[in-house]
Chain A
Amino acid sequence: MIPIETIHATAGRLMSKAAIEIPDDYLGALRDMASTEKGPLSCFVIKTMLSNYDAAKEDRRAMCADTGVPRWYVKYGNEARVEGGPVALETALRRATAEATNGVPLRPNRVHPLWRTDHDNNVGINAPEIEYSFHPEGDWVELTTVHKGGLFGTDYRMLFPGDGIDGIKRFYLDALLAFGKRGLACQPAIVGIGLGGSKDTCMVLGKQAACLRVVGDRNPDPRIAALEEELKTLGNEVGMGAMGFAGSSMVVDCHIEVGYCHTGGMPMSVHMFCLSSRRACARIHADGTVVERTDPQWFTEYARRETVEWTTQDQSSRQSG
C-alpha cells in the first residue's frame, strides 16, 4: 500500500523540480545547438537561455515566469494500491499543485474561460488535467508533471490518405512558420505530432509525444522513426532559429505517435514543447521508496497497445497457408 502522504510529498517536489530544472536531455540538445547555430541573434538567444537555466537552479526560482499550465500523468502498475484509492491520489495531486503554485512560486495561470476567476493556485474546474495509463505488472505508481505553455504552437488538421507524407510535411511546415515567427512557439522546441486516432486522441497523442518523450527517443516503427528524423531535419532547414531570427535552431527533436483512425482519414496534430520544457517524474514503490527521473517512459509497448491477444485473420490465413 503506497502511503498517500508519499504521493503528496513527491508531487510537491516534482512540481518544483519541473518549474526550476531543465531536463538533461533538452539541456544537452540545446548546448549542441549553441555550438552549431550560425545566426548571431539566434545564437545569442540560445546562450542566454543556457545561462538562465543556471540562474534558475542556483537561485531555486522558476526558469520562466510563464510557468505554463501544470498537469499530471499517472501510471499505475497493475498491482499498485494507493492509500485512500484513486480519489485520494487525485486530491493529493490537486493539493500539491496549489501548494507549489504558492510555494515556488509559480504563476497562477489557470482561470475560468469566461469569468476569468483565478483561485491563484492553478486549480479549478477540470484543472489540472490528470491522465492515466497502466502497466501490466508492478506495485508502483509513477507520477509525471508537465507544465506546458498554453497559447501558441498547437494545431490540428484533418488530412486524408491522398494527402500523403507530403501533406504531413506541408502542415508541419505551416505550423512551424505560423508559430515560429517572432518566436511565439518559444523554440527551439520538441515537436510532437499525433497522427490518426479520433480527433481527441490525435490531439492527446501529439501532446504526449511532445511532452513525454525525451530528446533522441525514436518511435519503435523504423519507418516512423525515419520520418521523425526527416521532419526534424526539415524543421531546422526552414531558416528560422530562436525567437524567429534567421538561423537553424527550430526543432530540438520531432516525435510522432500514431493511433488507428477512420479508414477515410489521416488526422494530424502538431504540438511544440518550448525552451522551458518542464517535466519531472518519479516512481513510488509500495514500500514508500521514491526514484525521481526526467524521462517519463510513458510510451511502452503496452501503453501503445501494440499487441492483440488473439490471432488475427491475416496471421491465421498465413499459418494455414
Chain B
Amino acid sequence: MDDTGSELKTVRLRSPVTTEDLVGLEIGNVVYIDGLVYTAREGVYKKVVDDGTPLPGDVASIGNVNFHCSPAARVNPDGSFEMGAVTATASFRFSKWMSRWFDISQAKVIVGKGGMSSADYREHFVPRGAVYLTTVGYGTGALLGRGIRKVRAAHWLDELGIAQAMWVLEVENFGPFLVESDLAGNSLFERENAKIAANVERLYAGTRPATLRRYGETDRREDELI
C-alpha cells in the first residue's frame, strides 16, 4: 500500500505457491497475491475432510491458497456471478480440520481473519511448509473485491449456499494481507499480545473482581461464585 506511507516490507506471491516462495516471509510483512485463490471453510471442510468427498480439482486448477471467506456475491439469472466484496472469517474455529485438510488439499497458504494459535501452527502448518496470512482491518472487502479478476468456478453452490460454497477465484494484486505466521510457526498476534500484556496489571490496578462471578472465571464447577 503505497498510499499508507508504511515502512512495512511488501511481497508479491503467485499462486500456486511453492515452499521456496514462502521462505523469505517474515511476520508483519505485507503480501499481495496473483493467480488462483479458493474459499473453503466449515462447509467445505465437513464435506471433504469429514465426509470424504473428493476435491473438485487439483492444485493446478484450484491453486493452493485457501481463503477462509464468504463473499458478498450474487448468482445472476444467466448463471454468471457478481462478486462485490470479499473478507475473511475468523479462522480459529477451523483448527480441528486443518491437518487432514493440508494433506488432502496440498494447501500452502491459509488466508483468514485473526490467525490461529501457535500450537496450531506448530502442529498443522510447520510440518507441511504452510504459512498463515491475515486480512487487514478487518474488512477491506472493497479493496479485496477489486483484486478479483474472475470467478473461475463456484463448487457445491446449490448444496452449501453462497456463504459456504467453494469459490475458485482468479486474482491480481489481491490484498493487502499481513504475514501472521511464517514457516517457523512464529505468530505476529502472539508477539503483539505479549506487548499489550505488559500493561494489563497497571490498567486493572485498584479494581476488584466483580461481586458475582461466573463459571468460566473458575473452572472448578464445585466452586461457589460469590
Contacts and interface: CB of A to CB of B under 8 A. Distances in A.
A102 B84 CA distance: 11
Interface string A154-185: 00011110110011011101000100011110
Contact of A107 (B1, B30, B72): B72
Interface in B1-37: 1, 3-8, 28, 30
In which size bucket is the chain A interface? 35 or more
Interface in B36-90: 69-74, 82, 84-87, 89-90
A206 B206 CA distance: 26
Contact of A105 (B7, B84, B211): B84
Interface of B is mostly: mixed
A276 B138 CA distance: 9
A11 interface: no
B121 to A, nearest CB: 14
A158 B53 CA distance: 47
A40 B162 CA distance: 36
B210 A157 contact: yes
Interface in A132-171: 151-152, 157-160, 162-163, 166-167, 169-171
Given A52-B139, A64-B137, A47 B70 contact: no
B134 A243 contact: yes
A186 B142 contact: no
Contact of B141 (A64, A169, A243): A64
Contact of A67 (B30, B85, B114, B196): B85
B199 A239 contact: yes
Given A47-B4, A47-B6, A182-B114, A65 B85 contact: yes
Interface string A30-51: 0000000000110111011101
Given A62-B72, A170-B207, A40 B7 contact: yes
A104 B143 contact: no
A44 B137 contact: no
A245 interface: yes
Contact of A62 (B137, B142, B161, B189): B142
B137 A59 contact: no
A237 B200 CA distance: 10
A246 B195 contact: yes
Q: Identify which of B200, B206, B211 gathers the most chain A CB atoms within 10 Å of its CB.
A: B211
A65 B1 contact: no
Contacts of B85: 56, 61-65, 67
Contact of A167 (B162, B178, B210): B210
Interface in B85-126: 85-87, 89-90, 113-115
Interface of B: 1, 3-8, 28, 30, 69-74, 82, 84-87, 89-90, 113-115, 134, 136-146, 161-163, 176, 178, 188-189, 192-193, 195-196, 198-200, 203-204, 206-212, 214
Task: Name the 10 nearest CB pairs between A and B, nearest first.
Answer: A64-B139, A56-B142, A47-B4, A65-B85, A65-B87, A65-B141, A62-B85, A55-B142, A105-B74, A182-B114
25 contacts: A47-B1, A52-B137, A52-B139, A55-B146, A56-B85, A61-B85, A62-B84, A65-B87, A66-B138, A67-B85, A104-B84, A105-B73, A108-B163, A158-B212, A160-B212, A169-B207, A173-B204, A181-B189, A182-B193, A183-B138, A234-B203, A239-B196, A240-B196, A243-B134, A243-B137
